[in-house]
């Protein structure tokens, strides 16, 4: 792509952004949403998982 020039049409970009906002599926499992759900599931609730009785200490 060396020497190539990207031409941006601001009107079409705004139209596309509006279309996307109107048609985005809030229930779609995008990679970002999936990663956020996995991160939330990986967090340990210390009250539900107390350290008493563990053979290791958490730093």
Which residues constitute the domain of residue 44? 28-59
At 58 the pLDDT is 63
Burial of residue 37 (CB within 10 Å: 0-12, 13-18, 19+) is: exposed
Task: Classify residue 4: in a domain, yes or no.
Answer: no
Q: Count of domains in the chain?
A: 1
Task: Classify residue 22: in a domain, yes or no.
Answer: no
At 23 the pLDDT is 85
pLDDT exceeds cutoff 70 at 59:
no
Task: Classify residue 12: in a domain, yes or no.
Answer: no
Q: Is the dihedral of CA 27, 31, 34, 36 positive or negative?
A: negative
Q: What is the mean pLDDT of residues 43-58?
A: 69
pLDDT digits (tens, 9 = 90+) for 10-43: 999 999 999 988 888 878 888 989 999 999 888 8
At 45 the pLDDT is 72
């Amino acid at each position: 792509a060396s020497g190539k020039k990207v031409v941006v049409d601001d009107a079409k970009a705004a139209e596309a952004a509006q279309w996307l906002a109107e048609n985005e599926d809030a229930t779609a499992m995008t990679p970002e949403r999936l990663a956020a759900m996995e991160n939330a599931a990986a967090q340990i609730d210390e009250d539900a998982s107390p350290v008493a009785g563990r053979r290791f200490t958490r730093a």
